Structure 1
Amino acid sequence: MCCWCSCLECIHNIPPLNLLFPHFDSASAPGHEEEEEAAPVASMASISVPDPVPSPTEDAENIRKAVQGWGTDEKALIEILGHRTAAQRGEIAVAYEGLYDETLLSRLQAELSSHFKGAMTLWAMDPAARDAKLAYKALRKKAGERHAWPLIEVACASSPDHLVAVRKAYCSAYDSSLEEDVAACALYKDPLRQFLVRLVSSYRYAGEHVDDELARAEAAELHAAVVTKKEALHGDVVRIVCSRSKPQLKATFERYKQEHGKAIDEVLEGNSNDKLSAMLKTAVWCLTSPEKHFAEVIRTSIIGLGTDESSLTRGIVSRAEVDMKKVKEEYKVRYKTTVTADVVGDTSGYYQAILLALIGPEQP
């Protein structure tokens, strides 16, 4: 099967659209009489969608015009795809393939180049297939703290149902499971590898119930492991972080701060020379305050010599429909500048244009 999950065989094996796209339902499928109704945009998302939104067929036809003939109308592609939700982009892809007997992704790959191609193709993918691809690439890069970030992001910064969809998309695209590939990855050594396996294998309770007594007990276990024993990925830590619901973990971390006078992520940041502590901090942030982590992803991709375009693209594309407004707020508070200003200062051309479309306007 193809690694882009865009061939017909792969398409037949990916999860249903209503699982891949949270806003998708049968009433919004191509051909339905209400197909022009705009899909809702999450309150913390940064992308804008026109009202009324064109039909998937109209968008597909306009994309075809943009990629035909001499040259490519990149501005038109940004104007269409950069202002559609995941569900709408999925409908456009279905309409495009039905009209022109080729996938939208294959056409974008053939027409575009450089970092603009990378950003547009990632954005055009369904979210589960995109995260599966990012995880696959993370397992084939040299070992290092930041190279494991995509695995932790996929496992911790999304919903339990989305992680299931990612695992299904991964199986369809790569003929193996995400869990077994993480377990077999030679780039990471235990206990980090065991921690990553537990994270990507998890299915957390998605409700709001919190057990205060459990939070108190597990806050004590975390302190004993991380501070007393100085084992960031002690078995108790892995069990707690990899199995508890996000509300339960927030309660545990709040109790930790109450009992010990310092937040657990601050304690972990203090262990600056301990890579395992850094990985645990990343998981804690992705589980409870993902805007902190993704602000760091964007900032670290820009500062220093050169720009890490793959990380910059991932950070913006991954959160544009989720919580980019919160990421921008966190970025402004922590770094005393804006995401927009840093992106403008470090990128150019159509690559910059698609990133700015996804970032959206900055609040004063």
Structure 2
Amino acid sequence: MSSIKVPDHLPSPAEDCEQLRKAFQGWGTNEDLIISILAHRNAAQRSLIRNNYAETYGEDLLKELEKELSSDFERIVLLWTLEPADRDAFMVNEATKRLTSNNLVLVEVACTRKSIELFKVRQAYQVRFKRSLEEDVAYHTSGDIRKLLVPLITSLRYEGDEVSKTLAKSEAKILHEKIADKEFNHDEVIRILTTRSKAQLLATLNHYNNDYGNAINKDLKDDPNDEYLKLLRTTIKSLTFPERHFAKILRLAINKLGTDEWALARVVASRAEIDMERIKEEYYRRNSVPLDRAIAKDTSGDYGKMLLELIGHGDA
């Protein structure tokens, strides 16, 4: 459910490139023109624009944008203009660096992308960084967190709807026993969460809830500040109800003292073409405020404008 509004009469990639070129020239950059084009083109159209720009002007559109724009606005435009697999590779690489380390982003990418998308992210990562994604994740993590993240980021789950009820019941029992014994890092817990299809997991977690009277994430709140447990809960939520996960990330990003611009840009750029409408519904359900109004109140300038265009706002 994309929130991107593509115009009825779509200019050709050549026309878009000409307009973008104009936006970069003259006195100062024409940010409004950049927003009016890029925020209203889908991934395939943006890719054509980039190719056309390189052929026509012999320059990489991303490098031009980097040169012309700055701060948060630059970040959201660049993230948005990147190919989806490339964008994820870039975000995951940032998440493995010491200064911008963020294991939550690794879980998010591993669990909310389709298997084939995750595979493409790993390919894009190798091309861009000349290393494998899993070696960087393994190198920058340790202990239980490494034990969870490496199989998660390399997983190629079955994508279909086939579900075994018997398996769901028996694996719900395994999960319940291990969690009751506080063996949160048990190999079986990690195996189930990192290999089973999303449909199978959902069935297992429904059994867990019905047979043992508690949602699994409640039972995993043993220590709310434990990072490994936090990542386990995020894994489960991202695999089963991604829109809930993203609505929460947005709420935390907006309600912080000082907005978490990186989280805001990451979620909007990566979900605008996928499930932003569902995220907006979930956000409203949880916060009684429309997402566009929350973003409009909390951001400003070209950055705020770009975000609002990407989420497909009403009249924020």
**Same fold flag (TM > 0.5):** yes
Partner of 2:171: 218
Regions of 4+ moved over 4 Å: none
Separation in 2, partners of 1:273, 1:347: 29
Whole-angstrom CA distance in 1 between matches of 2:113 and 2:156: 11
**Residues 1:107 and 2:60 are matched in the alignment:** no
Separation (CA, whole Å) in 2 of partners of 1:143 and 1:239: 28
1:197 paired to 2:150? yes
1:264 to 216, 220, 224: 216
Are 1:174 and 2:126 matched, yes or no? no
Aligned to 2:111: 156
Name the one with the larger helix percent.
2
Give the match for residue 98 of structure 1.
Answer: 55
Change (3 A) 1:141 1:323: farther
State the TM-score, normalizing by the size of structure 2.
0.96
Matched, 1:324 2:276: yes
Letter of the 2:6 counterpart: V
TM superposition shift of 1:361 = 2.5
Hey, what's the Cα distance between the residues in 2 that align with 1:236 and 1:163? Answer: 23
Cα separation, partners in 2 of 1:143 and 1:275, compared to 1, 3 Å: farther
Q: Where does 1:250-261 land on structure 2 (aligned, <5 Å)?
A: 250-261=202-213
Deviations 1:10-33 (A, max 9, x none): xxxxxxxxxxxxxxxxxxxxxxxx
263-272 or 292-301: which moved more?
263-272
Counterpart position of 1:59: 16
Unaligned stretches of 5+ residues in structure 1:
1-43
Cα distance in 1 between the residues matched to 2:287 and 2:299: 18
Q: How far apart are the structure 2 equivalents of 1:336 and 1:233? A: 37
Partner Cα separation in structure 2 for residue 77 and residue 344 of structure 1: 19
- Tell me how far 1:218 sits from its aligned partner: 0.6
Cα deviations by residue, 1:136-180 (Å, 9 ceiling, x for unpaired): 000014587xx2111111111010010011001100111100001
- What are the superposed Cα offsets for residues 50-91 of structure 1, whole Å, 9 maximum, x if unpaired? 113221111111111111122111111111100111111011
Deviation at 1:276, TM superposition (A): 1.9
How is 1:19-30 mapped onto 2 (pairs within 5 angstroms)?
Answer: none
Letter in 1 for 2:111: C
Q: Secondary structure at the match of 2:5?
A: coil
What residue number does 1:246 align with?
Answer: 198
Q: Whole-Å Cα distance in 2 between the matches of residues 216 and 143 of structure 1?
A: 40
Aligned residue in 2 for 1:75: 32
* Cα distance in 2, alignment partners of residues 167 and 319 from structure 1: 19
Corresponding residue of 1:31:
none
For 1:308, the equivalent position in structure 2 comes to 260
The separation in 2 between residues aligned to 1:269 and 1:53, in whole angstroms, is 50
Aligned to 2:309: 357
Task: Answer yes or no: is the 8 Å Cα contact 2:94–2:100 preserved in 1.
Answer: no
CA distance in 2, matches of 1:122, 1:212: 41
2:138 counterpart residue number? 183
Q: How far apart are the structure 1 equivalents of 2:41 and 2:221?
A: 38
* Cross-structure match for 2:189: 237
Of 285-294 and 333-342, the range deviating more from structure 2: 333-342
State the Cα deviation string for residues 82-128 of structure 1 (Å, max 9, x = none): 01111110111001111000011001000001110001001000000
Cα distance, 1:268 vs structure 2: 2.4
Closer, same or farther in 2 for the Cα pair 1:285/1:164, shift >3 Å? same
What is the distance in 2 between the residues matched to 1:325 and 1:282?
21
Partner of 2:147, secondary structure, is helix
CA-based RMSD:
1.6
Distance in 2, matches of 1:235 and 1:84, equals: 44
Rounded to whole Å, the distance in 2 between the matches of 1:143 and 1:218 is: 36
State the alpha-carbon separation in 2 of the partners of residues 312 and 98 from structure 1: 33
Change (3 A) 1:340 1:195: same
Partners of 2:94 and 2:177 lie apart in 1 by 35
Query: Does 2:86 align with 1:129?
Result: yes
